[in-house]
């Protein structure tokens, strides 16, 4: 099989690519590196089954060629992270909506199976947890830029399902719930890598708001496994499926667990949302997936414990710091 992955140099894309290559599949990556990084796929570049293009989806000619050669398309390219969304709402909306429309248009010409990544953010301010795929989407007002990401991804879903209903373009929509693991950057506000990096450096761990808001964190290996189980299933076409872990933790307790598991002396500081993001920022208090549909379709439930996830992320950053330190020592010795 030949897989085309948009956003393939990103966090999830790089892990998915790694797994597919291990299985002997051919993988083509398309990434403009706006949020992805060559560092994520550097260890894979020697594979004869990997091809990558540092370009954007808006290059229609290249996109058409890559889609034509692909058996399956996985669309992961998107604006990511709350910080980026708040700071660059135009980029968020245009990247998500325009990119999805272009990939749907290209895939539809050849009726290639297209899996589109969405997000738990689309549930918005709905308070009825756990979130079922058929639940109402309750978004805040358009005057709050924070909701532009949720609205753009919801529009992506509407568009994908419309292509399936009207044009019989095979699509699968997945909603990710806080996928985490090695290679995830905290650059755009991702909470776990930020907590772990600060804990390892014994600097203050910053918890936004009062820390009572809770989330569920899914190991990237489990996310990849769920994707690979969904792709071959004809009964998954035209469906929206949650992918996440159901182990819930408050952000305050997450900070405490990270501190404990890293043997850190970091103090925990609480930062008001207005200072962290923007005045009037709104957040969801709980975000818990119902994964019955995923289990019914695939027989799989993500189950990697939060403790193991934190240990994996900590090990990654320790190794990364060690490599940087070794490189710095080598540079000094040469000089």
The pLDDT tens digits for 185-198 are: 877 668 999 999 99
The pLDDT of residue 331 is 46
The pLDDT tens digits for 51-74 are: 999 999 999 999 999 999 999 999
The pLDDT tens digits for 151-164 are: 999 999 999 999 99
Mean pLDDT of the chain: 92
The DSSP output letter for 299 is: S
Strands (E), the chain: 2-6, 26-30, 50-53, 72-75, 113-119, 171-176, 179-180, 205-208, 214-216, 218-219, 240-243, 248-250, 268-271
Domain ranges within the chain, ordered by starting residue: 2-179+218-244
The pLDDT tens digits for 24-50 are: 999 999 999 988 999 999 999 999 999
With cut-offs at 50, 70 and 90, classify the pLDDT of residue 125.
Answer: very high
Q: Is 326 exposed, middle or buried (0-12, 13-18, 19+ CB in 10 A)?
A: exposed
The pLDDT of residue 325 is 53
Strands (E), 234-327: 240-243, 248-250, 268-271
CA distance 319 to 50: 25
Q: Which residue has the tokens 């090990």?
A: 315
Q: Is 161 exposed, middle or buried (0-12, 13-18, 19+ CB in 10 A)?
A: middle
The pLDDT of residue 320 is 87
Average pLDDT estimate for 264-283? 88
With cut-offs at 50, 70 and 90, classify the pLDDT of residue 334.
Answer: very low
The pLDDT of residue 292 is 98
The pLDDT of residue 172 is 98
Average pLDDT estimate for 238-245? 98
Residue 149 annotated to the active site? yes
Q: Is the pLDDT of residue 312 over 60?
A: yes
With cut-offs at 50, 70 and 90, classify the pLDDT of residue 83.
Answer: low
With cut-offs at 50, 70 and 90, classify the pLDDT of residue 283.
Answer: confident
The pLDDT of residue 137 is 97
Of 123, 149, 208, 277, the catalytic one is 149
Of the chain, the percentage scoring pLDDT greater than 90 comes to: 81
Query: Minimum mean pLDDT among 30-39, 173-182, 252-261: which range?
Result: 30-39
Q: Which CATH superfamily, name and number, covers 2-179+218-244?
A: NAD(P)-binding Rossmann-like Domain (3.40.50.720)
């Amino acid at each position: 099989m030949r897989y085309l992955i948009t956003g393939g140099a990103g966090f999830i894309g790089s892990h998915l690519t790694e797994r597919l290559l291990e299985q002997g599949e051919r993988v083509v990556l398309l990434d403009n590196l706006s949020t992805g990084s060559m560092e994520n796929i550097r260890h894979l570049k020697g594979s004869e089954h990997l091809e990558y293009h540092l370009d954007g989806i808006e290059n229609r000619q290249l996109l058409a060629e890559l889609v034509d050669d692909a058996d399956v398309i996985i669309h992961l390219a998107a604006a990511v992270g709350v910080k980026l969304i708040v700071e660059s709402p135009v980029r968020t909306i245009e990247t998500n909506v325009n990119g999805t429309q272009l990939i749907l248009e290209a895939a539809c010409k050849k009726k290639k199976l297209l899996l589109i990544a969405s997000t738990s953010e689309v549930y918005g301010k709905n308070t009825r947890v756990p979130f079922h795929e058929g639940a109402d989407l309750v978004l805040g007002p358009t005057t709050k830029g924070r909701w532009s990401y949720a609205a753009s991804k919801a529009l992506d879903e509407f568009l994908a399902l419309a292509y399936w209903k009207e044009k019989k373009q095979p699509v699968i929509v997945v909603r990710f719930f806080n996928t985490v693991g090695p290679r995830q950057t905290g650059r755009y506000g991702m909470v776990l890598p930020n907590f772990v990096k600060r804990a390892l450096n014994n600097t203050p761990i910053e918890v936004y708001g009062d820390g009572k808001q809770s989330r569920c964190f899914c190991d990237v290996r489990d996310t990849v496994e769920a994707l690979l189980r969904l792709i071959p299933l004809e009964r998954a076409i035209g469906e929206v499926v949650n992918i996440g872990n159901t182990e819930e933790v408050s952000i305050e307790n997450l900070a405490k667990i990270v501190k404990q598991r890293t043997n850190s002396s970091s103090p925990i500081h609480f930062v008001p949302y207005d200072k962290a993001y923007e005045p009037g920022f709104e957040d969801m208090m709980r975000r818990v997936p119902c994964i019955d549909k995923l289990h019914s379709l695939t027989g799989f439930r993500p189950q990697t414990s939060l403790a193991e996830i934190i240990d994996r992320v900590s090990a990654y950053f320790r190794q990364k710091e060690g490599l940087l330190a070794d490189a710095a020592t080598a540079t000094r010795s040469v000089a």
